Amino acid sequence: MDLTIIVGGAAGQGMQSLGSALVRAGARAGFHVFATQDYMSRIRGGHNFSVIRFAENEIRSVNQDCHLIVAFDSETVTAHQDGLHQDGLIVCDPEDVQTDAQRTFFVPLRALAVEHAGHHIMSNSVALGAVWGLLGGQFDDIALLLEETWEAKGPEIVEKNQKAALAGFNYAKEHKPETFKFQIKQAAPREKTMVIDGATAMGMGAIAAGCTFVSAYPMTPSTSLTEYMAAHKASCGIIVEQVEDEIAAINMGIGAANAGARVLVPTSGGGFSLMVEGLGLAGITETPIVIVNMQRPGPATGLPTRTEQADLLFVIHAHQGEFPRMVMAPHTHEEAFDTMVRAFNVAEILQIPVIVLGDQYLADSMKTTPFFDFSKVEIDRGKLLSSEEGNALGPNYKRYQITADGVSPRAIPGLSRALVKVIGDEHDEAGNITESAEVRIAQHEKRLKKLRTLKELARKPIEYGPKDAPSVLVSWGSTYGPVKEAVDLLNGSGKPTRMVHFVDVYPLNEEHVIKALEGAKTRIAVENNATGQFAKLIKAETGIGMTGFVLRYDGRPLTPEYITSKLEKGGDLPW
């Protein structure tokens, strides 16, 4: 079973709540669920929708098939009816939607809500029940779900919502069109999972890594990560500062990191633009800090609520002067958790800024995910001196001591008698300002030594599909799920293809890249941008060029079908 539902309407109609409820209902019934949102940058109005996919096997993307449309306005029908399966159905209230579209199932959502719950505001619960009745689900799944959702409002509200849902459930069972054959059979029992979005997974990873300070200015789509950290600040001992702008965010973070905190600075591309000078300050002061850039389409405000992968070359090259940094791009919700732990460790081990590249698609998409094992998290703070070690050095402490690996012992100001000097000018080993050419060379080379270690730390790309396939799809970050499913579709239709997917995207380990791509006659870059930025990086670092591209830059995420259709139309592959 692999079934997709679209829930659409205007902002303020509550369709997002219905979408979230369906995700949790599917998970409760034992299915793998993946869901995304497409929403406009406005409080009310506009066309917004959620895509929810249920499957018996694990899924990591949505697809372009649609079996059921729940429409809260006429625009939803117009926008999505062409993609409806020939045996699919459009569910809507005749009071809200005027349409002569075929395969429409009218359900009096408002009237049933008023009749059974006393108010039309509960028509969403009627719609939830109607969908579950059409699909042949168990009412207990949504009854318990509604209890959990509304228990804080009291038993009366819970009961009203359950009555509304039952009314929709029974109406759908009694009036379901015979042509609608899609049913969700109860899934086989499996390991219990949670339903989370990518931003939550990142937040959980940051907490597990021991993050103690967050400074941020709200900016979609990074705000949900900041909100998650703020919601858990009291229980987890985290200071969360909402500052006046992104310049303050990174500079406050640098100060907190120098005081010994593990610091997270969430932002998006526009905010990162303001942080560039601060990033240079972190570079020359060798301050460990983790910056999350949740990408969205630019330039300027662009499409603030949509997705893109167009900040890669920017975050790699954003600086005045030269200094090392690492860029990671998690590809799944599970990897989002692990990446945050690793980012904090690498930042402190090498005393550098680490940038985690997410995007709106990863941040907002919801997925059934195994529970994270916090007991396996290991925290490595690198060459952090104890108070006793700092006391022994006292005024002789050298914050920027020349070492073989470029990493100096780090003392926290005030925790010992070590004299810590930190400054944004070039400095000697003790932290004193200098304009000596010899000292400049020594300190500059000291910092750049860390690049060698970073390349050694870089993980090998993920390879999937037949090793001897002549064609390879090269991808990075959140495109993993769609590309992986596209590889399955291609191989299933007799077109041998494999995937090479990167999570650590900078600095590249050239040996890893060359080995992963050897033997491929055709190399296709698959990216959510217009210029093939990762392909350019590979070419610059290794000399290996791509022979073709699948690029999407309309603000929407890639899907398996989008990838395969582009390949077939472009004739890039040797079939």
> Domains along the chain?
2-175 (3.40.920.10), 198-376 (3.40.50.970), 387-454 (no CATH), 458-570 (3.40.50.920)
How far apart (Å, rounded) are the C-alpha atoms in residues 507 and 456? Answer: 10
Q: How far is CA 312 from CA 188, 272, 412, 453, 527, in A?
A: 41, 12, 33, 21, 11
Per-residue pLDDT tens digits for 123-182: 999 999 999 999 999 898 899 899 988 888 899 999 999 999 999 999 999 999 988 888
Show the 3-state SS of 31-49: CEEEEEEECCCCCCEEEEE
Mean pLDDT of 11-35: 85
Mean pLDDT of 339-356: 98
- What is the residue whose two structure tokens read 């593990």? 262
Mean pLDDT of all residues belonging to the chain: 93
pLDDT at 571: 46
Amino acid at 534: F
Give the list of residues 6+ apart from residue 475 with CB closer than 8 angstroms, or none. Answer: 483, 499, 500, 501, 502, 525, 526, 527, 534
How far apart (Å, rounded) are the C-alpha atoms in residues 289 and 315? Answer: 14
Lowest mean pLDDT among 91-100, 194-203, 331-340, 342-351: 91-100
Q: How far is CA 539 from CA 330, 513, 543, 547, in A?
A: 22, 10, 4, 11
> Does the pLDDT at position 325 exceed 90?
yes
Tokens of 183: 């049913």
* CB-facing half-sphere around the CA of 56: CA atoms within 13 A: 8
Q: How far is CA 386 from CA 216, 283, 285, 412, 415, in A?
A: 30, 24, 20, 9, 8
Mean pLDDT of 215-231: 97
Residue of 473, 238, 426 whose CA lies nearest to 323? 426
Any alpha helices (H) in 151-268, and if so which ranges? 155-175, 198-208, 223-231, 233-236, 246-258
Tokens of 188: 């086989």
